[in-house]
Structure 1
Amino acid sequence: MRLVLALIAALLALPAMAQQGPATLVADRIAFDEETLTAAGNVEIFADGRILRARRITYLRDEDRVVVEGPLTLLDGPDTILVADFATLGADLRASVLQGARLVLDQQLQIAATEIATGAEGRYTQLYQTVASSCEVCAANPVPLWQIRARRVVHDREERQLYFEGARFEVAGLPIAWFPRLRLPDPTLERATGVLAPRFSADDLLGTGVTVPYFIALGPSRDLTLLPFVTNTETRSMGFRYRQAFDNGAVEVTGAVSDDNVLGDDLRGYLFADGTFFLDRDYRLEFDLELASDETYLLNYDITEKDRLDSRLAITRVDREDRFLAEIVAYDTLRAGESNRFLPTPVVTVERQRREPRPVLGGDLTWTLQAHARRRAAETVPPDLPMNAARDVQRASAAVDWRRTRVLDAGLVATGLAGLHADAYNVQQDPDFPDDPFMRAVPYAGLELRLPLARGTPGGVRHVVEPAAQLLFTPGDRRRTPDEDSLTPEFDEGNLFAISRFAGRDRRELGNRANVGVTYTRFDPSGWQTGATVGRVWRNADLDQFRDGTGLDGTASDWLIAISGGFEDRFQFTQRALIDDALDVSRAETILRWRGDRHALETRYTWLESDAEAGRPLDTSEWEMDAAYDLGVDWTGRVNWRYDFVTNDASRAGLGLTYRSDCVTVDFDVERRFTSNDDLEPSTKFGLGVELAGFGADDRRKRRRRCGI
């Protein structure tokens, strides 16, 4: 019967509706004469993308109007819902007056009004005597957590803006602030010029203040955010962030200029910038700039804990067979007692590396060419610094590496290794090296054997054991070279079978040696994976290449023991240690990451023996932890901690609490920094941020809506 009535209505075709396109009316009962058409019972009208649902409607032909008796619902596009008790509408459902109405935008913001009027063009909607909130309102909690009462609200659908007149902001029914006029974005707008959520803070050094960000949309691909910050101790700061996207890249610039009492009357500040651009033939231009006015500014304003800034300009290209790098790096130290005159600046590197696509002697051949230079501004060295503190170095390097792998009987995997690394140096201002250029060449050859063994169980569990041994033959006597990029050699399961365990090219690992290890891995179909690696390096002679504490000194290295486990992306555990024959530990690290439905935990323990040449005059024994827990009912707690077991003092500790519901986010945190030096005192910082949902794009509608806190 409803289908028949719908066809009759379509034949009558409400005239005004037909001008915009076909209109359809569906109802349980339809009656009409020459002047009116009345539909009752589960009425629905579809017109030009709008849907009207009501109990009863009457169409007046002479006035070309629709009178609706509610309760009624008008769906105007995917983001706007109107609910009312009574309405009169134009035939296309645009021009309308609704009484006892409620406007819902993007399933987030609700605006209740005594009357809602929409113009014939459909752009502006006016609401009178309104109450706006994104909080759920129900019988148990009739007063929302927050609401804005206003005499009139105008919604501009085209600009996606809400204009409030005579607005009063209330929290739990209590008036907090009054605004004669107020403009806010509607929930569908992602970018708009205006004030963002403020952030309140209290600091022992800077005082109690507030940051009020102001976002400026400069176009579809550019924006600027200003971050004025003022405190009760006369601290004044203006921060900014500029972003721009291009067809072939993007840039971001952040910085601030501050006037405070920390260093007297001097202006302080910082500037960071970075960007990436894609060039022709897959080349990339990359740059980053890091500048700070003084040693403590970045810590005082909680920007970063970096104590050496590096600025870089580079052109790179990486594909399946080739890698190209051309870069220049400049350093700026923030460490007390360290001078930029004795840091290498600039550092210039140009490198080309290629893997030949066709086999060479049946194996893979990779060659590398590099030009490298580093210069220091200092020309003389004070008595308290090493004689090479003003050293300048230029180096040209060439390397060829070849390997061929074959699988022998019984699954034995044999790999032949060979290569040659040659370097030409020009060193100035270092009495340990001649002023004339000199060269060094390090050839090597080797054989690596692996025997992967696998076993499966009826339950689907797989066990894989792989013993491996690598024999390397390298000259033990080569000319000494300046070392600046290989001061901190590493020894872990990632480079147990590396040709050289030095990080850079200034040093090459010398002497005949055997790298031996065994790896075990267990794969469980439930998602668990566990593994362990044990390895060691034996040498035929101690060439005094590695310092104590690296685990690589002597004719036999420390035992490398690494254990790992994980379950999908929810749990990861890693433990690695270097242990000598006397069971003394030179290095150890434990990392645990555990993420569940209600918690997230990441903790790390690090132990390192002292190494003065690596800038570590004391032992390091440090524990770090970052954790968050869902306390329930929209509350989340956070804690972070860093403890130094050598000094038996905490270096940093913090607590945080976040309330995030469908209509508001409140974020509170407190952090204490215990470390100090001549320029930096221990300090405590408090922070408070409040953000209202429903204004600007948000994912809050995905959250479960409910009443109360």
Structure 2
Amino acid sequence: MRFRALALALCLALAPLAATAQEGPATLVADRIDFNARELIASGNVEIFADGRILRARRVTYLRGEDRVVVEGPLTLLDGPDQILIADFASLSSDLRNSVVQGARLVLDEQLQIAATEAATGAEGRYTQLYQTVASSCEVCAAHPVPLWQIRARRVVHDREERQLYFEGARFEVAGVPVAWFPRLRLPDPTLERATGFLAPRPSSDDLLGTGIAVPYFIVLGPSRDLTLTPFVTNSETRSLGFRYRQAFDTGRIEVVGALSRDEIRPGETRGYLFADGTFALPRGYRFEFDLELVSDDDYLLNYDIDEEKDRLDSRIAITRIDREDRFVAEAIAFNTLREGERNRFQPTPVVTVERQRRVPGRVLGGQMVWTLQAHARRREADVVPPGLPANSARDVLRASAAVDWRRTRITDAGLVWTGLAGLHLDAYNVRQDPTFPDGTFVRAVPYAGLEVRLPLAKAGAGGVRHVIEPVAQVIFAPNDRRPTPNEDSLTPEFDEGNLFSISRFAGRDTRELGNRLNVGISYTRYDPSGWTVGGTVGRVWRNDDLGQFRPGTGLAGTASDWLVSAQASYGDRFQFMQRSLVSDGLEFSRSETILRWRGRRHDLETRYTWLEADAGAGRPIDTSEWALDAARDLGGDWTGRVNWRYDFITNDASSAGLGLTYRSDCVTVDLDVERRFTSTTTLDSSTRFGLGVELAGFGADDRRDRRRRCGI
């Protein structure tokens, strides 16, 4: 009877809390509860649950007449998954929404802390006002009571609905030293991923552009689109406005980036660039893709550090469809050369291709058959070739192609894998404005047949180690002589493990590999349960006759190709090594490439050495011998150092070099970069660029929620 009376009295006392709760009655849990007609006092590990909020304290008094909850601290109020309020004293409404607290500390999304002498929340629970505040996302401890950075303000208003923080009379301090003052300041809280406002500015210094600052401004245009404007000004009259527009649709997305600039590099000119790309899903599995690349002059991308490697722009529009049995591509590509000495009027633009490739369902003569149809056209703007240029510089080409490829595989009881190969490739050409070929249409047909034999051998070793050896021999029969065709898509054939046993090593269809030949190779791979994989390949091509299809430097010239020798080793994603070389019988290298990637607990290294013999037909008039290095090292604490380097051994000069230093803690990221480009042209001088970036954590969504928090630097 005593327990029932206590329960009845408690329900009557908490009736106002239950009436004001929106989603259910309030619940009170405590070690001890005392009550009378005016008040209810709970003490000892008190917890109140009301409408998703949880209040924890040592003593709580509910004043029935005022419908208020008075809490003596220390107290903790958990308001949703991303807001914690810690205080010394509080006076709250019965639903824990309307509150006035003293000695408050508000923690948002476990990242940003705002300490205040007093905090008040309105009855609707949307706005929280904090007075005499200090805000920081840095850890504060006894050894380092002053955080790395903090914002002091007379008042801060937190808008939970818009997820914004409004500072009044704000002062930004670094290590306790004031560095900036703001009468009004608006910043997103840590839970907001997208908000209109300024992004972190980035100062920079460049020999050509001058010393200046870029200040991005992000504009939210809706839930699926946004715009970023980036003004950039320097002390040398450089004025630039960069922009990026993004939009997502139900069936695709687009992105447009670009800039407009005025500078002293080209006085009086308006310079700029525009890159746009997008993809959309169409009915029946088709996709629409586009890629637009425009620039005002040849040096703009280099001057403004947008893309130092791009020396030919390609704009593309395409409709594609690819599935298990079928491939369809219809595309048009326009080229714009930025290379010194090349002119766009003599570049093939546009290049239009429509191709359909299909694997025939079921068996055809016991094997698998694939047919291909292609229509291809390329034209040049020029109609007349000036003196000094090749006679075919204004050539226009139309081509229609059809191909059938067949293969059948049989595995014998002894483990031999026999594969029969056969096919026919037909091409009809119409060539204009090239004296090498007569006007009109002519046809070329290239049949082939072949046989391939493989003998995969596997052996299990001690400790679960497996060894796999596979010798392969492939003989191909093809005609030696066919009518010459204009060659523009097959100028740079490659020779590596991927095409050692290919029917043709030319990338396009303008040229097909001719002549009888024997392709031989052997590969070895060792698999270790610990994660190591080690292997290598050796191969070569022998021909009946040297038909002169391959230039010196490709490794495929002559009746016998260079030896293809490759080796590789890997250990998960922590270590990768690859070496590939083309070596003649006299041990002379025509091509060689070595790549090493090593990722450790405290370092990340990627280095590459490339050797290429001169090949004028591929646009390489001199040998290439280049070493590139990209490395990063954890320097301890929150510091990371970076270095990149490219060196040309032919000219004995560095092409580019860079140093970087990053400080990334739980509350701030600071990036310092120095880049030097040593190369120069008749229109572009070498330059050095300095960059500085600072980003404060705790404002807007961040990936450092689980990062280990520490005091000091």
TM-score by length of 1: 0.99
Q: Which amino acid aligns with 1:75?
A: L
Instruction: Write the deviation string for residues 454-496 of structure 1: whole angstroms up to 9, x where unpaired.
Output: 0001310000000000010000111111100000000001100
Q: Does 1:529 align with 2:530?
A: no
Aligned to 1:194: 197
Instruction: Write the deviation string for residues 582-638 of structure 1: whole angstroms up to 9, x where unpaired.
Output: 010000000111112211111111100000111000000001111111111111111
Q: Secondary structure at the match of 1:637?
A: strand
Indicate which of 362, 367, 374 corresponds to 1:370: 374
Aligned to 1:610: 614
1:557–1:156 distance in 2 versus 1, CA, 3 Å: same
1:546–1:126 distance in 2 versus 1, CA, 3 Å: same
Contact 1:528 1:568 survives alignment (8 Å) = yes
Aligned to 2:659: 655
Q: CA deviation at 1:18?
A: 3.7
Aligned to 1:42: 45
Q: CA deviation at 1:700?
A: 1.6
Within a 5 Å distance, the mapping from 1:510-525 to structure 2 comes to: 510-525=514-529
Q: Secondary structure at the match of 1:299?
A: helix
Identity over the aligned pairs, expressed in percent? Answer: 78
Instruction: Write the deviation string for residues 309-354 of structure 1: whole angstroms up to 9, x where unpaired.
Output: 0000000000000000000000011111210010000000000000
Q: Secondary structure at the match of 1:73?
A: strand
Indicate which of 22, 27, 34 corresponds to 2:25: 22
Q: Which amino acid aligns with 2:481?
A: D
Indicate which of 242, 246, 255 corresponds to 1:252: 255
Aligned-partner Cα distance in 2 for 1:405–1:10: 82
Q: Secondary structure at the match of 1:500?
A: coil
Aligned to 2:65: 62
Aligned-partner Cα distance in 2 for 1:706–1:585: 54
1:7–1:491 distance in 2 versus 1, CA, 3 Å: farther
Q: Secondary structure at the match of 1:597?
A: coil
Contact 1:2 1:26 survives alignment (8 Å) = no
Contact 2:13 2:64 survives alignment (8 Å) = no
- Give the length in aligned residue pairs: 709
1:26–1:5 distance in 2 versus 1, CA, 3 Å: farther
Aligned to 2:219: 216
Q: CA deviation at 1:264?
A: 1.6
Aligned-partner Cα distance in 2 for 1:18–1:604: 71
Aligned to 2:478: 474
Indicate which of 391, 399, 406 corresponds to 1:402: 406
Q: Secondary structure at the match of 2:617?
A: helix
Within a 5 Å distance, the mapping from 1:278-677 to structure 2 comes to: 278-305=281-308, 306-677=310-681
Aligned to 2:264: 261
Q: CA deviation at 1:7?
A: 9.6
Q: CA deviation at 1:2?
A: 13
Aligned to 2:36: 33
Q: Does 1:276 align with 2:246?
A: no
Aligned-partner Cα distance in 2 for 1:276–1:133: 42
Contact 2:492 2:506 survives alignment (8 Å) = yes
Instruction: Write the deviation string for residues 484-515 of structure 1: whole angstroms up to 9, x where unpaired.
Output: 00000000011000000001000000000000
Aligned to 1:138: 141
Contact 1:375 1:393 survives alignment (8 Å) = yes
Q: CA deviation at 1:385?
A: 1.0
Q: Secondary structure at the match of 2:705?
A: helix
Q: Secondary structure at the match of 1:138?
A: coil
Aligned-partner Cα distance in 1 for 2:257–2:620: 32
1:446–1:698 distance in 2 versus 1, CA, 3 Å: same
Q: Unaligned regions of 5+ residues in structure 2, if any?
A: none
Q: Secondary structure at the match of 2:559?
A: coil
Aligned-partner Cα distance in 2 for 1:701–1:83: 20
Aligned to 1:242: 245
Aligned-partner Cα distance in 2 for 1:516–1:533: 11
TM-score by length of 2: 0.98
Within a 5 Å distance, the mapping from 1:136-215 to structure 2 comes to: 136-215=139-218
Q: CA deviation at 1:702?
A: 1.3
Q: Secondary structure at the match of 2:349?
A: coil
Aligned to 1:101: 104
Q: Which amino acid aligns with 2:565?
A: I
Aligned-partner Cα distance in 2 for 1:574–1:457: 24
Q: CA deviation at 1:16?
A: 2.8
Aligned to 1:688: 692
Q: Which amino acid aligns with 1:580?
A: S
Root mean square deviation, CA, Å: 1.4
Q: Secondary structure at the match of 1:459?
A: helix
Q: Unaligned regions of 5+ residues in structure 1, if any?
A: none
Q: Secondary structure at the match of 1:498?
A: coil
Q: CA deviation at 1:649?
A: 0.4
Aligned-partner Cα distance in 2 for 1:48–1:530: 61
